[in-house]
């Protein structure tokens, strides 16, 4: 059964409503939201009938379109998703979709010779591997780095849409700092600007309405969120988000942070590894001698930088700046204390 454009708008609107767990949705509420969406996207002013929305809910619950949406009715009045993370966009890919994806992959491979598509190599390989595995049940011939226990990935698409559409968001956030004090997450209004991945974790860079401070929110600490249609979005034109993290490792950074020249020496054994896989894009070789290779890079001093440098252990020594060298020395001495304890 083909799904026409109008019906698809209705399904997506109902889905968007039911993903908002901060509000209780009656049938009348859903009718109102669907009518608004039809007017906004198609200019339809006649509204929508109660019977049509009831039929849409039944179709979404069924396997006709492959949704099998877990829509329940609470208190004989309020519609909701029984599974909080459910969305019709998370539904399994159909066989027809798989065939279309294979065609797209074939075309994309032909375009791979162009520099514009260099960043798509991994995506193409991942798609082809997953499609082949699903179609023929063949073994997985390639493994990508992933964390199956990672939380928050279900928020990615909606957060991305919020950034693109410049929508203010009410986010319920459970930070690690709040866990010891209270089990209740804190709610606040944010203006989202950028999604950033670091070491297989995703973060949202957003400014808070309450203090206009730029925050880095981990997606795995976001409990839930929804779009505020009537809240004006406040942009941040003073920040170049495309290059915001160019001078840093990781995501710990404030607007006021400035890069500094870090000088470090790596012994001869490890030097080839650091040369072929630079710690940072600004890394340069200063000189080489019998002690090893001296490098420099221009980065801000943050927690991720210290952790990265400490990861090389005894094979790397930071020469400058003095504060960074002192911090690493103190942390290594503290670690030595632990290993000298008798158990």
pLDDT (tens digit per residue) in 20-74: 988 999 999 999 999 999 888 888 888 889 999 999 999 999 888 878 899 999 9
Burial 76-96, CB ≥16 within 10 A → b, else e = eeebbbeeeebbbeeeeeeee
End-to-end CA distance of the chain: 69
For position 256, what pLDDT does the model report? 87
Architecture in CATH of 5-90: Orthogonal Bundle (1.10)
Given a cut of 50, the residues of the chain with pLDDT beneath it are: 1-3, 116
Q: Where in the chain is the domain with CATH 2.30.30?
A: 153-243
Phi, psi for 9 (deg, rounded to 5): -60, -40
Considering the chain, what is the average pLDDT of its residues? 85
Question: Which of the four CATH numbers 3.30.70, 3.30.310, 2.20.28, 2.30.30 does domain 153-243 have?
Answer: 2.30.30
Check residue 2 and give its pLDDT. 40
Give ranges for CATH 1.10.10 in the chain.
5-90
Rounded to whole angstroms, the Cα distance separating 148 from 154 reads 13
pTM of the shown model: 0.63
State residue 192's pLDDT score: 96
Q: Is the peptide bond before 68 cis (omega within 30 degrees of 0)?
A: no
pLDDT for the residue numbered 151 = 79
């Amino acid at each position: 059964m083909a799904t026409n454009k109008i019906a698809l708008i209705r399904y997506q609107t109902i889905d968007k409503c039911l993903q908002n767990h901060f509000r209780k949705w009656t049938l009348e509420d859903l009718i109102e939201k669907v009518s608004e969406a039809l007017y906004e996207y198609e200019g339809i002013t006649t509204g929508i009938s109660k019977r049509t929305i009831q039929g849409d809910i039944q179709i979404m619950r069924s396997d006709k379109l492959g949704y099998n949406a877990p829509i329940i009715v609470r208190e004989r009045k309020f519609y909701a998703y029984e599974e909080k993370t459910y969305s019709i966009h998370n539904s399994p890919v159909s066989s027809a979709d798989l065939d279309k994806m294979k065609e797209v992959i074939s075309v994309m491979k032909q375009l791979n010779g162009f520099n514009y598509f260099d960043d798509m190599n991994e995506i193409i390989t991942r798609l082809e591997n997953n499609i082949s595995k699903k179609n023929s049940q063949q073994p997985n011939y390639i493994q990508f780095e992933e964390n199956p226990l990672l939380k928050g990935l279900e928020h990615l698409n909606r957060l991305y849409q919020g950034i693109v559409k410049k929508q203010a968001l009410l986010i319920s956030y459970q930070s690690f700092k709040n866990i010891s004090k209270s089990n209740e997450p804190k709610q606040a209004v944010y203006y989202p600007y950028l999604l950033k991945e670091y070491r297989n974790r995703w973060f949202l860079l957003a400014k808070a309405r309450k203090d206009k401070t730029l925050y880095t929110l981990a997606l795995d600490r976001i409990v839930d969120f929804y779009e505020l249609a009537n809240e004006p979005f406040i942009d941040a034109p003073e920040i170049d988000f495309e290059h915001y993290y160019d001078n840093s490792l990781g995501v710990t950074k404030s607007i006021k942070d400035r890069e500094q020249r870090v000088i470090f020496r790596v012994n001869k054994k490890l030097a080839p590894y650091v040369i072929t896989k630079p710690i940072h894009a600004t890394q340069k070789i200063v000189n080489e001698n019998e002690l090893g290779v001296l490098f420099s890079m221009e980065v801000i001093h943050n927690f991720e930088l210290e952790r990265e440098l400490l990861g090389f252990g005894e094979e790397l020594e930071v020469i400058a700046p003095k504060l960074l060298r002192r911090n690493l020395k103190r942390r290594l001495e503290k670690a030595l204390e632990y290993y000298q304890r008798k158990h």
